[in-house]
């Protein structure tokens, strides 16, 4: 699989790149970013996958996430894919809503028309892109972790729970932990997967835990001033599910912080140090 280099910039001694490739999973061109820290030739490095939230592309965290200094110090590759397929022939929301369609792929493989052809973000982020990155960057495939924000927090936690032997760590900022129960998730899962709620459970963190999925532990930060906290995020449901299942959860409620990248960038270094401790153990 070949990639096209869109841009590269030196940062903290490493290279921040943006790349494009033709995706078989989505049937579209996809853009993603990769930061490779300074390292000795021939060294294989641990990789952190970052899944972004509603309305975002790869660019939001790349430009606002403030992850490069920590990644350079810790020796972590940081990969940020897009959140959905894009292009003139890709169907979006009929009303141009922000929470469905373009920019709102929810990291599922859609089964409903007209979305089933392109909206295959689960396959993209768990299969196609990891293979592509491994072929083109100095990744140690045995040392991987995943993190995300909001819709991407939903994606990161579900990816980890369904692939516990692949990922050593998982964390999230303001994740949608029970999409089957909140407006954002109900709209997206109905639209992509249909009305049968049994089909939703594989893409619902709380439901996966209830159904027996396990993981070594999670770090989750939420802002107490987040406008979406009570209606859409409901971290207390994750807390209850993890407690019942015996899954270690560090849930930090950060006073005064909202849903934005000001919040994410503030605690990004904490998360990366947490990941590095597990990736290098």
Tokens, residue 237:
């449901």
Q: Which of 103, 112, 241, 92 is nearest to 189 (CA)?
A: 112
pLDDT value of residue 113: 97
Q: How far apart are CA 279 and CA 281, in angstroms?
A: 6
pLDDT digits (tens, 9 = 90+) for 57-96: 999 999 999 999 999 999 999 999 999 999 999 999 989 9
In the predicted structure, residue 1 carries a pLDDT above the cut 80: no
Give the helix, strand, coil percentages of the chain, each rounded to 5: 35, 25, 40
Task: Give the chain's domains with CATH numbers.
Answer: 4-280 (3.40.50.1820)
Between 88 and 281, name the one with better pLDDT: 88
Task: Tell me the mean pLDDT in the region 122-147.
Answer: 98
Catalytic residue among 58, 149, 154, 259: 259
Q: How far apart are CA 139 and CA 131, in angstroms?
A: 10
pLDDT value of residue 16: 98
pLDDT digits (tens, 9 = 90+) for 192-206: 999 999 999 999 999
Catalytic residue among 33, 84, 145, 150: 150
pLDDT value of residue 68: 98
Per-residue DSSP letters for 2-52? Answer: --EEEEEEEETTEEEEEEEEE-TTTSSEEEEEEEE----TT--EEEEEEE-
Provide the β-strand partners of residue 116.
none
Active site residue 150: yes
Active site residue 259: yes
pLDDT value of residue 140: 98
Task: Tell me the mean pLDDT in the region 37-49.
Answer: 97
In the predicted structure, residue 135 carries a pLDDT above the cut 90: yes
* Banded model confidence at residue 281, pLDDT cuts 50, 70, 90: confident
Task: Tell me the mean pLDDT in the region 105-128.
Answer: 98
pLDDT value of residue 163: 98
Supply the mean pLDDT for the chain: 97
């Amino acid at each position: 699989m070949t990639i096209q280099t869109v841009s590269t910039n030196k940062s903290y001694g490493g290279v921040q790149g943006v790349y494009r490739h033709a995706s078989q999973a989505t049937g579209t061109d996809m853009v993603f970013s990769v930061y490779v820290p300074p390292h000795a030739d021939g060294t294989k490095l641990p990789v952190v996958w970052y899944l972004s939230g509603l309305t975002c592309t790869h660019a939001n965290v790349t430009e606002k996430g403030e992850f490069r200094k920590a990644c350079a110090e810790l020796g972590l590759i940081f990969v940020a894919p897009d959140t959905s397929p894009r292009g003139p022939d890709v169907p979006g929301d009929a009303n141009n809503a922000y929470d469905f369609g373009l920019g709102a792929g929810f990291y599922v493989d859609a089964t409903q028309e007209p979305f089933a052809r392109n909206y295959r973000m689960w396959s993209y982020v768990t299969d196609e892109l990891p293979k592509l990155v491994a072929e083109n960057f100095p990744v140690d495939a045995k040392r991987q972790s995943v993190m995300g924000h909001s819709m991407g927090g939903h994606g990161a936690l579900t990816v980890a729970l369904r692939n516990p032997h692949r990922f050593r760590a998982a964390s999230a900022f303001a994740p949608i932990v029970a999409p089957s129960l909140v407006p954002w998730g109900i709209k997206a899962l109905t639209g992509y997967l249909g009305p049968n709620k049994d089909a939703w459970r594989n893409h619902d963190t709380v439901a996966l835990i209830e159904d027996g999925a396990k993981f070594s532990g999670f770090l989750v930060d939420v802002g107490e001033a987040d406008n979406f906290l009570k209606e859409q995020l409901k971290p207390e449901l994750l807390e209850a599910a993890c407690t019942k299942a015996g899954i270690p959860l560090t849930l930090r409620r950060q006073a005064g912080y909202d849903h934005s990248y000001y919040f994410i960038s503030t605690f990004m270094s904490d998360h990366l140090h947490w990941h590095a401790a597990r990736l290098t153990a």
